[in-house]
Structure 1
Amino acid sequence: MDTETVRTPVAGEATDRRREQRGWYFYDWACSVYSTSVLTVFLGPYLTSVAKAAADADGYVHPLGIPVRAGSFFAYSVSLSVIAAVLVMPAVGAAADRTGRKKPLLGAAAYLGATATMGMFLLDGDRYLLGGVLLVVANAAQSVAMMLYNSYLPQIAPPAERDAVSSRGWAFGYAAGSLVLVANLVLYLAHDSFGLSETMAVRICLASAGLWWGAFTLVPLRRLRDRRPSARQAAALPGMRQLAATVRNMRRHPLTLSFLLAYLIYNDGIQTVISQASVYGSEELGLGQSTLIGAVLLVQVLAVAGALAMGRLARAYGAKRTVLGSLVAWTATLGAGYFLPAGAPVWFFVLASGIGLVLGGSQALSRSLFSHLVPPGKEAEYFAAYEMSDRGMSWLGPLLFGLTYQMTGSYRDAIISLVVFFVVGFALLARVPVRRAIGDAGNPVPERI
């Protein structure tokens, strides 16, 4: 009887935790379709074509009177969306800490992004400015929502489970991306059979991603729980003042800051490759939309297996070594991409395979690795800073890509310029003594890390 009294609450807590973890996975299932179908596949080439339709005889559009090469407009819009997100995130993070009502803020950001994405159905003709505005709103909202989503990880998973839980979240997202891309591919390739123009098929694919995002966000909103804020959280400062206070506190943990700097740089490279790969494939390599969709679908399928496999590698060799290995693979992949022959889809698929195998795992393990470097009781505060690091410099990659193309007129030069992010990120991460960093943060050091 005494044994049953002790075990029942523990079993109940484990059941509740698993239920909340499954709900958490479903936000990745909901929002990753935006990242895949909109940001990675359709919007880059489509918005570029719309901008070119609006361009002058020299190939420039003039938003707010500023001359911009039409081929760079998408990259600049992505950069602007990141800057907008960085300005908004501190205020939202501080509000989440003060009130403890993280879930309503997650819902508001998610549905703002989903609505803007559904609005992309209206993008046709030469409405490149409308496309730019909708991209900025959707991408910034997605960044804010991901900040709130990631901060749940230390609350729903004890240290021993975090690599696995984080990896499963990414796997759910890539599985959803694969499923929707199959439907997109059918619609796009058979648009004549459905009585649709190619442009209309693309617009439907864009809008359907927003509909999917909004519909499946209902699952995490039902299963995730708000936690009562601690006295320290309730006293959180507003917006940028809280961010400044967090950074000052982080100075007591310089190794955690060192990890954030490394992550900030190499993740910028990852995010830029994701957002610009379809533009590179269509504009430089001359590949058709169906080839690009097929390649991204291949990335999604392999990323599910890659995220889970890298989670297992982390258990055997440690998360840090596994992430370092993935950065070597990213560098080699970009180098190979520079030499890809135009009009050769087979080699583009080979490149996509390499990206897929390292994409999910490098991001999932970075997230779980950082969770070990957070001082106890400061999870939400530090994960807000983590997301700021994630987004804070991720405008530099698209900006470098766009500027390189603007100066050289070559997408090959633009894609190879991104190697610097992986090389510098590798060098900085290699210098972080992770085991000592975990101990300095006041956390138990896992056997493998």
Structure 2
Amino acid sequence: MGTDTVLTAAADEAAERRREQRGWYFYDWACSVYSTSVLTVFLGPYLTSVAKAAADADGYVHPLGIPVRAGSFFAYCVSASVVLAVIVMPLAGSAADRSGRKKPLLALSAYLGAAATAGMFFLAGERYLLGGLLLIVANASVAVSMVIYNSYLPQIAPPEERDAVSSRGWAFGYAAGSAVLVANLVLFTAHDSFGVSETTAVRICLASAGVWWGTFTLVPLRRLRDRRVPSSAAPAAHGWRQLAATVRDMRGTPLTLAFLLAYLVYNDGIQTVISQASVYGSEELGLSQSTLIAAVLLVQVLAVGGALGMGRLARTYGAKRTVLGSLVAWALTLAAGYFLPAGAPVWFFVLAAGIGLVLGGSQALSRSLFSHLVPPGKEAEYFSAYEMSDRGMSWLGPLLFGLTYQLTGSYRDAIISLVAFFAVGFVLLARVPVRRAVRDAGNPVPETI
């Protein structure tokens, strides 16, 4: 009877865990639409057009009295949003860890971002300042919410399940992004049939991403459970002190810190390409919004296959060599993008295919490579620093992109400037002896890495 009771309890626990996991997947389903439809496709070109409508005769807008080229405004706002996220993420992560009350923080960050995104419906005329403010709030909110969201993974999945659970979350996000982009494409290309103007169609696409985000966030909020932990009276600055302590601790494993620095550099380039590619396509190459949507859909589809293909390469050549190869591919893709002729969508699709094939794999293999460099028992704090590098430090790329355009007036010069991130990241990563780094971290060295 005792055995039956234990088996029943174990079965109930497994069922509850699966229920939480299914709820957890839905936050990726909810918020990925913002990243795909808003940040990657619609907002860059649209906010740039609004800023140009408000610009003076020399093409400058003046937020806070500062002269800014209208074409640089979107990139500067992305950079500012990441700086804001850097400030807030350690505080939010510390509050979640110390209180155990993650759901209220997830709800706050998610619905603040969703409301800002839905508010983009009112971005019209010359309201570029409103658009910049909403972008900064939404982009910082999604970064903070992802810190809270990712922190649930160790609680809802034992070690042997985490790879599969994490992968399903990514799959849900790609599926949602693709599905909504198809709907966006239908609305945008057939806006006359729906009785709305092209501008109104874009505003509906932007706002609908916020509605989608807020609606499907209800699922994880209903299914995820808070785990109470003893709280203390430590001030909110504990989050920054913990991050600083983790970085100091990494001095004991300097090769792990060296890898994290390399990742910080080249991932900044990756994130900037993702956020600025649509601006380059619309402003420099003169491509239509429907072409940009189709290109992003192509990236979404090929990113899955590219990640799987690069995973197979890593089993043969090792993760480090495969990531280094992907950085070369990123640099060559950007160099090719510099020479793309205007008004030639076929070549832009070729460029999108190149991005899609290396996008998922370069990020997935970087994460798995870092996992070998984490000392046992310090996974949570080290991955918190990794999350900061992944989502919190990607501000220099947009800033460089915006400054280059500000100084040269050329998006081609702005896009080619990003090659520096991949070149420097390549050199830094190539200098990391990963086998010795794994041994120094106290982990067994895989046969191929």
**TM-score, normalised relative to structure 1:** 0.91
Identity across the alignment (%): 84
Aligned to 1:427: 427
Aligned to 2:276: 276
Q: What is the CA deviation profile of residues 29-80 of structure 1, one whole-angstrom value per residue up to 9, with x for unaligned ones?
A: 2111101100011000000000001000000000010000000000000011
Aligned to 1:114: 114
8 Å contact from structure 1 (residues 97, 233) kept in 2: no
Aligned to 1:44: 44
User: Structure 1 residues 221 and 351, CA, compared in 2 at 3 Å: closer, same or farther?
Assistant: same
Does 2:139 align with 1:139? yes
Supply the distance in 1 between the matched residues of 2:262 and 2:286 (Cα, whole angstroms).
Answer: 34
Unaligned 5+ runs, structure 1: none
Shift of 1:277: 0.3
Does 2:327 align with 1:327? yes
8 Å contact from structure 1 (residues 264, 392) kept in 2: no
Shift of 1:228: 4.6
Unaligned 5+ runs, structure 2: none
Supply the distance in 1 between the matched residues of 2:7 and 2:158 (Cα, whole angstroms).
Answer: 18
Shift of 1:256: 2.1
Q: What is the CA deviation profile of residues 138-163 of structure 1, one whole-angstrom value per residue up to 9, with x for unaligned ones?
A: 00011111222233444455556555
8 Å contact from structure 1 (residues 112, 138) kept in 2: yes
8 Å contact from structure 1 (residues 167, 364) kept in 2: no
Aligned to 1:81: 81
What is the aligned-residue RMSD (CA, Å)?
2.7
User: Structure 1 residues 198 and 237, CA, compared in 2 at 3 Å: closer, same or farther?
Assistant: closer
Does 2:401 align with 1:373? no
8 Å contact from structure 2 (residues 306, 360) kept in 1: yes
Report which stretch shifted further, 361-370 or 171-180: 361-370
Does 2:189 align with 1:195? no
Report which stretch shifted further, 320-329 or 419-428: 320-329
Aligned to 2:310: 310
User: Structure 1 residues 366 and 21, CA, compared in 2 at 3 Å: closer, same or farther?
Assistant: farther
Aligned to 2:104: 104
Supply the distance in 2 between the matched residues of 1:122 and 1:114 (Cα, whole angstroms).
Answer: 14
Supply the distance in 2 between the matched residues of 1:322 and 1:333 (Cα, whole angstroms).
Answer: 16
User: Structure 1 residues 44 and 292, CA, compared in 2 at 3 Å: closer, same or farther?
Assistant: same
Shift of 1:178: 0.8
Report which stretch shifted further, 315-324 or 232-241: 232-241
Supply the distance in 2 between the matched residues of 1:442 and 1:325 (Cα, whole angstroms).
Answer: 27
8 Å contact from structure 2 (residues 91, 237) kept in 1: no
Shift of 1:8: 7.0
Q: What is the CA deviation profile of residues 92-131 of structure 1, one whole-angstrom value per residue up to 9, with x for unaligned ones?
A: 1111121122333122211111111001011000000000
Shift of 1:233: 12
Aligned to 1:64: 64
8 Å contact from structure 1 (residues 81, 136) kept in 2: yes
User: Structure 1 residues 433 and 19, CA, compared in 2 at 3 Å: closer, same or farther?
Assistant: farther
User: Structure 1 residues 99 and 444, CA, compared in 2 at 3 Å: closer, same or farther?
Assistant: farther
8 Å contact from structure 1 (residues 116, 210) kept in 2: yes
Q: 1:402 corresponds to which letter in structure 2? A: G
Q: 1:48 corresponds to which letter in structure 2? A: T
Q: 2:92 corresponds to which letter in structure 1? A: V
Report which stretch shifted further, 223-232 or 119-128: 223-232
Shift of 1:26: 2.5
Where do 1:380-419 residues align within 5 Å? 380-419=380-419
8 Å contact from structure 1 (residues 26, 219) kept in 2: yes
Aligned residues: 449
User: Structure 1 residues 283 and 431, CA, compared in 2 at 3 Å: closer, same or farther?
Assistant: same
Shift of 1:331: 1.5
Report which stretch shifted further, 428-437 or 212-221: 428-437
Report which stretch shifted further, 207-216 or 227-236: 227-236
Secondary structure, aligned partner of 1:432: coil
Where do 1:199-278 residues align within 5 Å? 199-229=199-229, 238-278=238-278
Q: What is the CA deviation profile of residues 74-95 of structure 1, one whole-angstrom value per residue up to 9, with x for unaligned ones?
A: 0000011011111111211111
8 Å contact from structure 1 (residues 167, 311) kept in 2: no
User: Structure 1 residues 236 and 66, CA, compared in 2 at 3 Å: closer, same or farther?
Assistant: closer
Report which stretch shifted further, 430-439 or 420-429: 430-439
Aligned to 2:297: 297
Aligned to 1:123: 123
Report which stretch shifted further, 118-127 or 384-393: 384-393
Report which stretch shifted further, 219-228 or 348-357: 219-228
8 Å contact from structure 1 (residues 100, 228) kept in 2: yes
Aligned to 1:171: 171
Q: What is the CA deviation profile of residues 217-264 of structure 1, one whole-angstrom value per residue up to 9, with x for unaligned ones?
A: 223333444345489999996232222222222222222212211111
8 Å contact from structure 2 (residues 335, 416) kept in 1: yes
